[in-house]
Chains A and B, each alone.
Chain A
Amino acid sequence: MSINIRTRGQVRGGVAEIKSLIRHPMESGARMDQSTGRPFPMKLITNVDVSVNGSKVVDAQWSANISTNPYMHVNVAANSGDEVTINLVDNTGETGSETFKLR
């Protein structure tokens, strides 16, 4: 199963506002499950990158300090119609990828 990403990209004055909402627990591995007394296993998105027309523009690393169901907004100088790809991977090796055109 791949990680679900919802995206929106709008160009305003030559700058694309690339927003994404990702469905992911961002489990730190330190939080205790009260019913079993054991920690919930770590499940954390570690790396995210954003490309425009095939060239990488943003390369991010995340920690457990990022909220559950992460939201990310970055700005890139681009034109409407440009193709944006967001790739991400978590510590279990599960990946997510979403490609869309800027409005």
Chain B
Amino acid sequence: MKRRSFLKATLATGAASVAVSAGLLTPSTVLASWNKGAFEAKSVNDALNGIFGASNAATSADVKLTAPAIAENGAVTPVTVDASGMSGVESIAIIASSNPTPLVCEYKFQGAAQGFVSTRIRMGETQTVMGVVKAGGKLFKAEQEVRVTIGGCGG
């Protein structure tokens, strides 16, 4: 009798620990859709290759990048990339070229979405900000230098 209940108990705990480890796995499964390689890349080319599979973006007047010429506070720099004038925009990435990891964000568009993104980014120092647009399988970009008076990456 004792042996039987002992077995039952061990089996139950075994099942429970499997469930727990399965539960613990959820965050990493969610993270699986995060392009770790591209976001941890230290150079602009590596970041672009990681996210688009290519880095040869052509400068285009149809990509409109709006950013301040002088950012008083690098921790909150408003940046807008507007490519709604282009057709077939698949995705937009924002790059802060001199940040420790340059890739800021990547937006993929489907259906009724327009090729437009506006957000606020951190900038450690004066540098070039790039808006890179993938449209019709090709890469287009616009860039602008932003002077930063107070960096936004440190404490």
A residues apposed to B, CB below 8 Å:
15, 28, 30-34, 46-47, 50, 52, 55-68, 70-78, 89, 91-93
Contacts and interface: CB of A to CB of B under 8 A. Distances in A.
Contact of A34 (B26, B75, B122, B155): B155
A73 B121 contact: no
17 contacts: A32-B155, A46-B31, A47-B30, A56-B111, A59-B107, A61-B35, A61-B105, A63-B105, A65-B96, A66-B105, A67-B76, A71-B78, A74-B113, A74-B116, A74-B118, A75-B114, A75-B116
A68 B120 CA distance: 9
B112 A67 contact: no
Contacts of A31: 153-155
B103 interface: yes
B84 A75 contact: yes
Contacts of A93: 26-27, 30
B123 to A, nearest CB: 8
Nearest to A57: B113
Which among A58, A63, A67 has the greatest number of chain B C-beta atoms within 10 A? Answer: A63
B106 A60 contact: yes
A66 B113 contact: no
**Band of interface residues on B:** 35 or more
B112 A52 contact: yes
A90 to B, nearest CB: 9
Given A65-B103, A74-B113, A92-B27, A58 B108 contact: yes
Contacts of B6: none
The 3 tightest CB contacts between A and B, nearest first, are A93-B27, A73-B118, A57-B113
Contacts of B80: 73
A57 B122 contact: no
Nearest to A55: B111
Contacts of A71: 78, 118-120
A6 to B, nearest CB: 14
Contacts of A34: 155
A70 B120 contact: yes
A28 to B, nearest CB: 8
Contact of B104 (A28, A65, A78): A65
Interface in B88-125: 94, 96, 99-114, 116-123
A61 B39 contact: yes
Given A59-B107, A74-B117, A93-B27, A64 B122 contact: yes
